[in-house]
Chains A and B, each alone.
Chain A
Amino acid sequence: MEVDVRAISEKIERESAFVDLLSMEMNKVIVGQKHMVDRLLIGLLGNGHILLEGVPGLAKTLAINTLAKAVDGAFSRIQFTPDLLPADVVGTMIYNMKENDFSIKKGPIFANFVLADEINRAPAKVQSALLEAMQERQITIGDETFKLDEPFLVMATQNPVDQEGTYTLPEAQVDRFMLKVVIDYPKLEEEQLIMRANLTGAYEKVNPVVSLEQIRKAREVVNEVYMDEKIEKYILDLIFATRYPEKYGLENLKGLISFGASPRGSISLAKAAKCHAFIKRRGYVIPEDVRAVVLDILRHRIGITYEAEAENVTAEDIVNQIVNVVEVP
């Protein structure tokens, strides 16, 4: 089938107008953290979930709250604690004395935007209840199965420090997050603005600027973004280099990688690259799009060995080395 890239680009021009509006609305409250805001948009458009890692106080909760308000979607927050139960997340059946029957009480997961705060503080059964819902996009309570509303975006956070009493997410479950975004401290000037805004309470009110319908339409357009075979090959080269680094002249990485990215990694990378092209108002993907998202897509999908840990080599270092060696088409 012949693809008309020009027509796709024109469509994107029309359908992506909300991106600037959304960014502007979010920037009313979120100072700096452009990377995080961009990745939230990619997750929103790519129908993927986001794992955020950053020290407390970096506006993780505020960002998703603002996004929910700006998109006019339902928002809920779940604070993960060691005593949390799966029913606290997905919901349960409660006995209604008046009607002498059981009725379903839906959990906080029934929202468009769910913030799973400090996901690694809850035990594995709660984590898997959430992650299963993320994957299946449906919940079964008792005999009834409920489809979750679209868009459904889970933003989970975890704290890189204070690891005592935490339950590390298993690799198989981390893989279900499309992106893992590591948030750093704001710049000096940005923090000055944050400080001033907090002292004066001068935050503007966030208004809904995008409808859920617009998001659903945009998602359809994202799927139409043209990806050339050369870009596909480039994505596959990057993924395969995580599995067989020696084939790409990276023999030094062989002992440092315990397992490479899964096929879900290549799917997510392709999807995120398309979303990035959409945000940049392009109807086709270029290598820059892949390069822009590759770190956030692959950092949680590569397992590092004890040897790598001993040498202080992180998954990010490995991805960077791969990106610097694999030839760009």
Chain B
Amino acid sequence: MKYIITSLFLCIGFAMMAQKNPSISVKIDTTNIKIGEQVTYTISAPNHKKVIFPKIENLDSLVVAEELPVDTIQNQLYKKYLITGFDSGTFYIKKQQVFIDAKAYFTDSLLVNVATISVDTVKLAKHYAVKDLENEDYTLAEWWYRIKNYVYVGLAVIAFMVGLYFLFRNKKEPVKVKKVVIPPYIEATKELKNLEKKQLWQNNKVKEYYSELTDIVRKYIGNELLVQALETTTDELMSLLINENKQQKLGLDKDTLENLRDLLSQADFVKFAKQKPVEMEIKGHQSNASRIIETIHQLVESKKQEVKDDEQQ
């Protein structure tokens, strides 16, 4: 009985110990590859709750070209790696560690033979000499890049030459347009005649008539005696004329000065106070203006003659 109980315990113990480990297997398409050829290395494990496949790195002269996602086929997990080699020889894929439910299991190791490719140089195609570099045409931008410095220098030289030309060219004398200087007396006489021809006062334009008449007289005085007559008022012009008469010893008599004052004052009335003189007054002022111009002209001429005579003596 004692023997039976002991045998029973032993059987149960062995049975428990002999519980089966999860089956981890590795597979490779072929163990002989040529240099650069890819081979699929597959690790399979049962589909448990948590399986961690290795990240293969330590392959010596072999390299993992690509790591494919895990595939499941009938409660079995498959992890594939594309492996290749670029050196000839026999290389060893070491045992890889797979974790199943936090417990480590190891795969078998494998040998892979990487064969070199034999090259028969005798049978190679005909050799050709190395071709020369082909010269391509320049683009516009390349042309510009190559010649721009020359262009800049050229333009600078041209600008310099043009500058020198303008600096040292023989300046042509501007053509002098002869300005015909009409003596003030002739100009005033002509203007008086033109004014009469306009027949302004006859056409009820008395104000315009007096404006033009006094402008002619003032302009004449200004040009003949070289004083600012157009820019002065009646009083200022009279004072100016009295002064000039004294300084230049023109010999303008009181009557002429009075006539001038009367003419300018009456003209001021017409121009600024809407006064309308009668025909007789207008004619009187018109002849007054002519007489004043005539008198001043004669005095200036005789003065000039005196100076000339003095110079001759």
Contact = CB atoms under 8 A, between A and B. Distances in A.
Contacts of B236: 288, 291
A322 to B, nearest CB: 10
Given A327-B230, A328-B230, A288 B272 contact: no
B268 A328 contact: no
A324 B233 contact: no
A172 interface: no
A288 B271 contact: no
- Looking at A230, A231, A328, the one whose CB has the most chain B CB atoms below 10 A away is A328
B231 A5 contact: no
Contacts of A324: 228, 231
B274 interface: yes
Contacts of A226: 272-274
- Looking at B235, B236, B268, B274, the one whose CB has the most chain A CB atoms below 10 A away is B274
Contacts of B211: 230, 329
A287 interface: yes
Interface in A309-329: 323-329
Nearest to A324: B231
A5 B275 contact: yes
Contacts of A327: 230-231
A287 B230 CA distance: 12
B272 A284 contact: yes
B232 A328 contact: yes
Nearest to A4: B274
A328 B231 contact: yes
Nearest to B265: A286
Interface residues of B, number: 15
A329 B231 contact: no
A288 B230 contact: no
A287 B231 CA distance: 10
A326 B233 contact: no
B266 interface: no
A54 to B, nearest CB: 27
Contact of B233 (A228, A282, A286, A325): A286
Given A226-B273, A283-B273, A288 B235 contact: yes
A288 B273 contact: no
A3 interface: yes
A285 interface: yes
Contact of B268 (A3, A286, A325, A326): A286
B180 to A, nearest CB: 23
Interface string B259-297: 000000000100111110000000000000000000000
A329 B228 CA distance: 14
A5 B273 contact: yes
A5 B274 contact: yes
Nearest to A8: B273
A231 B233 CA distance: 12
Interface string A281-318: 01111111001000000000000000000000000000
A129 B268 CA distance: 44
B222 to A, nearest CB: 11
Contact of A285 (B228, B232, B272): B272
A283 B275 CA distance: 12
A324 B273 CA distance: 24
B227 to A, nearest CB: 12
Nearest to B229: A328
Nearest to A328: B233
Contacts of A228: 271-274
A284 B234 contact: no
Given A324-B228, A329-B211, A231 B234 contact: no
A78 to B, nearest CB: 39
- Looking at B228, B232, B233, B272, the one whose CB has the most chain A CB atoms below 10 A away is B272
27 contacts: A5-B273, A5-B274, A5-B275, A226-B273, A228-B271, A230-B211, A230-B271, A230-B272, A231-B272, A282-B273, A284-B273, A285-B272, A286-B233, A286-B234, A287-B233, A287-B234, A288-B233, A288-B234, A288-B235, A291-B233, A323-B231, A325-B231, A326-B231, A327-B230, A328-B231, A329-B211, A329-B271
Interface of A: 3, 5, 226, 228, 230-231, 282-288, 291, 323-329
Interface of B: 211, 228, 230-236, 268, 271-275
Given A228-B272, A230-B271, A329-B211, 18 more contacts: A5-B274, A226-B272, A226-B274, A228-B274, A230-B272, A231-B272, A283-B273, A284-B273, A285-B272, A286-B272, A287-B234, A287-B272, A288-B235, A326-B231, A327-B230, A328-B230, A328-B231, A329-B272
